[in-house]
Amino acid sequence: MTAAAAFAQGSEPHHAVPSGAAADERHARMRQAGAALPAIRFRDVVKVYGSGAAAFTALHGANLDIADNEFFTLLGPSGSGKTTLLRLLAGFEAVTSGEIHLFGAEIRDLPAERRPVNTVFQHYALFPHLTLAQNVAFGLKRLRQPAAQISARVAEMLALVHMEHLAERLPGQLSGGQQQRVALARALAPAPKVLLLDEPLSALDLKLRQAMREELQRLQRETGITFVFVTHDQDEALSMSDRIAVLSEGRIQQIGTPDDLYNRPHNRFVADFIGDTNLLEVTVLEADAGGARVRLSGGVDLPALTGAPVVPGSRASISVRPENVIVTEPGTGKLRAHLTGRSFLGASSLLTLALDDGSQITARRDNRLGRYPDTAAGAEVGIDFAPGALTVLAS
C-alpha cells in the first residue's frame, strides 16, 4: 500500500495512479534518504500570485520542519497562508522560490501525482456514479488489494465516519457534511504515509466533529501516518495536534506544542488568536533568559516569563489568561479593581474588571456552589495572578 498511489486516488480522481511497485520503490528511496531528516521540510519558501502591480505575496520565506509520524497543524485566520502551504506540499501550486523536501528528497518540481501524499480538501471530489462503498474502495482496487481486504477496509472506514448504514447510496443523495465524511474515509482507506487535510471537519456538526477528532488522533497514532492539518479553529488545533504553526499574513508567527502556544505566546497576535487573554501595557525593568520584571502603568512591579527576547527599558505587552487572574478580597492582591460585569457560561463565569489606571481585565472562575461570594457590580476587589501566569510579548 503506497502513499504515492493513495494520494492520486484520494481526492483528485482525474490524476493518474502510478504503479504500486514503482511508487513503493520511490517511497522506500525517499524514506531511506531522509531517515535522519524531518518528513517534511520547507526552506525559505515564497509564493507570489500574479505579477507587476497586481502581484500578491501569499507566503514570505516560510521555514518549517514536520517530523515523521507527527500530527502537525497549520493554524490561522482566512488568508494567512496555511492552505497555500498545503497546496505547495501537495504539488497543486508551484513554488516561487525556496525548497520543499519530503523524506529528504527535493520535490519542488515533482508532479502532484508522483508525490507520496494524500489530500482531503473542503470540496468532496466524490465519483457521482459510484456508491459510497465503491468510492471508498476505488483506490484500493487500483492498488490491486484482495477483495476480502478491500471489503473489510471499506466497512472499517465507513464505520469510522458513521456512514456504514448508507454504504449503497450515491453521493448526490447525501448532505454536504455526509459527502465530506465519505471523502475523508476514502482518503484514509489506503493508510498513506503523509495525509494533508484542509479543514476536513468543517462541514460536520459539533458532536461529530468532536468524535472525529478523537478518531483521527487514534488513527494517526496507530498507523504512523504524518498528518498535516489545516484549520482556523483554535480548539480543534489545540486538542488534536502534537505541534502547531500559527500563521498571519503569509508569515509563520510561532511554532510549538499546544501548551507552548497557549502559555508562552511570542507576540500579541499569537496571544490574542489562541484562546482568550488579557493584554496589559508594561515597561520592562529587567530581562534575562529566565524571565523579566515589568512595571504596570499604575507603578506596580510584577515578575513575568518571556515568550521571546525583550529589551530592558522598552515598552511591551504582557499576556495573562483569564483563568490565571485570581479575584481576591478588597485590600488584598497585587492590584485593585472594580467589578463591572459578569457573564454566566454554565460551568464558569467571566468577570470584567476595571483597574485603577482605566484598563480592563477579565477573570474566569468556576461556578462550584458555595465557592465564591456573590459580588455586586461596582464592588471593589483585589487582583492576583497564578504563579508563572504573566508572559512578556515581543513587540
- pLDDT at residue 26 in the model: 45
Residue type, 136: V
- pLDDT at residue 124 in the model: 73
Integer Cα distance of 109 and 113 in angstroms: 12
C-alpha cell at 144: 490491486
C-alpha cell at 139: 483506490
- pLDDT at residue 201 in the model: 81
Of the candidates 180, 232, 221, the residue with the CA atom closest to the CA atom of residue 71: 221
C-alpha cell at 15: 490524476
In the chain, how long is the greatest CA-to-CA distance? 75
- Cβ-contact 184, 148 below 8 angstroms: no
- pLDDT at residue 17 in the model: 32
Pairing of strands 301-306, 348-355: unpaired
- pLDDT at residue 371 in the model: 58
Of the candidates 189, 185, 190, the residue with the CA atom closest to the CA atom of residue 171: 185
Q: Which residues of the chain have pLDDT under 70?
A: 1-36, 369-374, 395
Integer Cα distance of 129 and 168 in angstroms: 11
Distances (CA, A) of 209 to 18, 161, 236: 33, 10, 9
- pLDDT at residue 252 in the model: 98
- pLDDT at residue 146 in the model: 94
Assessment of whether the complete model's pTM goes beyond 0.85: no
Q: Please state the separation of Cα 282 from the chain's center in Å.
A: 30
C-alpha cell at 241: 495536534
Residue type, 216: L
pLDDT tens-digit series, residues 134-185: 999 998 998 889 999 999 999 999 998 889 999 999 999 998 778 888 988 8
